[in-house]
Chains A and B, each alone.
Chain A
Amino acid sequence: MSNALNPRIGSIRASGRTLWSSYQSPRPGSRTDATSFRPEHESPLAGLAVPSWADAERRLRDLLDLSPGWDSYGGRPPNPELVAYAAAQLSGLKTLHLPPPTIVPSGDGQILATWRGLGIEVELWFEAPYSETVVIDDEKSPDDSFAGADPLLSATTRALRRIGTGM
C-alpha cells in the first residue's frame, strides 16, 4: 500500500503508532507497526487473510483484558466503550453478510479492523464512539480508493462487498 494513496498510513508511520497482531499472548519486547503488520491468519498460498467472525468476536473480547503497557511500549488499552462500539459496528457488517476482519489494537487506544483480498485493502480505525476513519486501497480500481471519515460505513461496505463477491 503506497503512502501516496494512503496518507493515514504515512501519519501512522510518522507517529510511531504500534500495532500487535498477537496480543493474546504478550511477547515482551516484540513490536510491529503498520509497515510490517500482517494479519495473523494470512494464507501463504493465496495471500488472502482468512479470519472468521468467531475470531473477530474473540479478539474483541480479548481487547477488554489488555492492561496499560500491553505492548511493552506503554500502549494504552482501548476503552470498554470503544470496544463495545466497534463490536456494534462490526455486528452490523456481519448482518450484511460481509467478510470478517482481523482485529488489532493500536498503542494509542484505538482499534483497527482490516480486510485484504483481491487487490483491495481496507483499514477501519475506530478512534472513539461515532468517530472512525477508513483507508481503502484498491489496486484494480484506484478511483474506489478512499481515505477519510466514514460515519455510516458506506465506503467501507462498498469495498467489503467487492472483496466478498470478487466484483
Chain B
Amino acid sequence: MAQESSGPAKVTVMPALPSFRKPPVFEVVLGVQFNAPQLGAVHVGGFHRRIRDQYPRVVQVPPIPPSFEVFLPAPASGGPAGPVGIALPSNAAFPRQWFISDDDEHLVQFQSDRLLVNWRKGDGDRPYPRYSEVRHRFTEAFEAFQDFMREDVGAAFVPNQCEATYLNRIPVEDSSGWGRPGRWVRLWNDDAEETEAVQFSVNRLLTASDGSPYARLTISAEGGVTAAGPAIMLNLLVRGRPLGSGPADVLDFLDRARATIVTQFAALASDEASRVWERES
C-alpha cells in the first residue's frame, strides 16, 4: 500500500502494511500536543465554530496533564526502578472540550495544549473505517486548528509531542475466566494451564535515521469485562516528538506510528486470530 503524506513537496512512500478486514479495534486516537498559547473561554467557541458542522455536540471534561516521552540511559545495575513520576497539575483553568459528531462515531478533543481526534466503534457493529478516514478527520481538524491559531489567537503552532493509539477489544470465549487468550495473541503460551488473569505492558523505543530515539511504542494487555462478556483489551500506543516543527511533521509522525502499530499488531495476532479477523495482506 502506498500512502502519501500531506504537503505538496513531501511524499512518503510507505511499505506495504498488514491489513485485516475485521480487526478487533474499537477506538483509534490521533493527537498532537503543542506549546500552549494563552487561551480563554472565548477561544473555545472560536475553534468550535470552525468544525461545528461536523461536530455539533459539546461536552466539557477535565484536561489531560501535559506529558513527554523522554529517553534516558538504562540503569547500569539493571536493578529495579525507583519510585516513578513527578506529577504536575494540568491547566484546570482551560478544560478539555469534546466536540462530538451527531452519530457519536467521531470526536475532536481540544484543550489549551492538545488536539486529539478519535474514531469510536461504540456498542454496535460499526465497521472500522480504516486509517485513511481517521487520518482525514484528523487532518481536517488539524487544519482548522492551525487556521484558528493563526487568525484568532495570533500565536505560532509549535508541536512538541504526537501520539497514535489503537485500542482493541478481543472477546474471549470463556465466561468463567480468561480461558486461553494465547489463542488470539502471541504474547504468552497458555497450552498447559488456563490463564487466570491478564495484565502486562511492553515498551519499545523507535529510533530516527541517526539512531537516536524519538518515540516509544507501548503495548499493553489487560483482561476486562464488556457488555458482550469477557475480553482482552489490547492497546498499542506510539508517542514521542515529531522529527520537525511543521504541520507536515505531525502527519509524518502519525503515519510512522500507524505503520509501527499495524505491523506490531499483525505480529501479535495468532494464526487463528488472523483467520477470524480476516487478514488480507
A residues adjacent to B (C-beta < 8 A): 53, 56-57, 60-61, 64, 79-81, 83-85, 87-97, 129-130, 151-154, 157, 161
B83 contacts chain A at the CB level, 8 A cutoff:
yes
Q: Could you say which of B7-15, B71-79, B118-126, B141-149 contacts chain A?
A: B71-79
Is B88 within 8 A of A83, CB to CB? yes
B59 contacts chain A at the CB level, 8 A cutoff:
no
Is B36 within 8 A of A129, CB to CB? no
Dominant secondary structure at the A interface: helix
Is B73 within 8 A of A79, CB to CB? no
Give complex CA distance A85, B67 in Å.
7
Residues on the B chain within 8 Å of A96, using CB? 72-73, 75, 81-82
Residues on the B chain within 8 Å of A91, using CB? 70, 84-86
Give complex CA distance A81, B157 in Å.
13
Is B68 within 8 A of A84, CB to CB? yes
Is B65 within 8 A of A84, CB to CB? yes
Is A79 within 8 A of B36, CB to CB? yes
Is B73 within 8 A of A56, CB to CB? no
B residues adjacent to A (C-beta < 8 A): 33, 35-36, 65-73, 75-76, 79, 81-89, 91, 113, 160, 212-213, 241
Is B76 within 8 A of A81, CB to CB? no
Is B160 within 8 A of A81, CB to CB? yes
Give complex CA distance A80, B73 in Å.
25
Dominant secondary structure at the B interface: loop
Also in contact, A95 and B84, with CB within 8 A (given A80-B36, A81-B35, A81-B113)? yes
Rounded to whole Å, the gap between the CB of B62 and the closest CB of chain A is: 16
Is A88 within 8 A of B75, CB to CB? no
Give complex CA distance A155, B73 in Å.
10
Task: List the A residue with the shortest CB-CB distance to B75.
Answer: A96
Residues on the B chain within 8 Å of A93, using CB? 72
The 4 closest A-B pairs by CB, nearest first: A84-B66, A95-B81, A88-B68, A92-B72
Task: List 8 additional contacts besides A61-B88, A81-B33, A96-B81; criterion CB under 8 Å.
Answer: A56-B86, A79-B36, A81-B113, A88-B68, A94-B82, A129-B160, A129-B241, A154-B73
Give complex CA distance A47, B241 in Å.
39
Residues on the B chain within 8 Å of A80, using CB? 36, 66, 91, 113
Rounded to whole Å, the gap between the CB of A73 and the closest CB of chain B is: 22
Residues on the A chain within 8 Å of B72, using CB? 89, 92-93, 96, 152-153, 157
Residues on the B chain within 8 Å of A61, using CB? 88-89
Task: List the B residue with the shortest CB-CB distance to A95.
Answer: B81
Of the candidates B36, B72, B86, B241, the one having the most CB atoms from chain A within 10 angstroms of its own CB is: B86
16 CB-based A-B contacts, threshold 8 Å: A56-B86, A57-B86, A60-B86, A80-B66, A83-B88, A84-B66, A85-B68, A87-B87, A88-B67, A88-B68, A88-B86, A94-B86, A95-B75, A95-B81, A95-B83, A152-B72
